Amino acid sequence: MTTPIGPAKKNSQKGTTIVEAAIILLTFLTLLFAVFEAGRFMNAGQVVTNAAREGARFAVTPLTQTNILPTDGEIETRVQDYLTSAGLPCSGCVTVTRPTVTTGAVDTSFTQVVVTHDYQVITVPGLFSMLEITMNGEALMRNETSN
């Protein structure tokens, strides 16, 4: 038996480039969407916390040369305006409480503002529509009145 002498037969690798590109592209896009969502998540968390701080700061500062503090409705409006300007509109997401702590003969009043926001993934709406996280921002400050 004789074997032909000539160039060796090449393996056909047609389509491997497309398969490799599809795998790499899928991995790259998944990583890109994950980075995008992580940035949105951290930004939303910071905005919610800052909104609570803004509301508490507004709540404990009396009107000029008076001992009159803002009402709960004014505080909620201020926080909702802050959230809306940051792109996170909400209604009914602000809770204002005014606890008083007694230490000996001294009563100290505080204002606590709690802001909740339901964060939802928007990058791939159909795939992660069930993924929803409730974020909470909370601030507690001592009232600055002389009462």
- Which of 128, 109, 106 lies closest to 119, judged by CA? 128
- Which of 137, 142, 140 lies closest to 79, judged by CA? 137
Does the structure show a pLDDT above 70 at 12?
A: no
Domain boundaries, the chain: 16-142
pLDDT of amino acid 111: 92
Phi, psi (degrees; rounded to nearest 5) at 141: -135, 150
- Tell whether the torsion through CA atoms of 49, 77, 40 and 116 is positive or negative: positive
* Residues 56-82 pLDDT 10s: 999 998 877 788 888 999 999 999 999
pLDDT of amino acid 80: 94
- Residue 79 CA to residue 58 CA, distance in Å, equals 9
Which pTM was predicted?
0.77
What is the C-alpha radius of gyration for the chain, rounded to an integer number of angstroms?
29
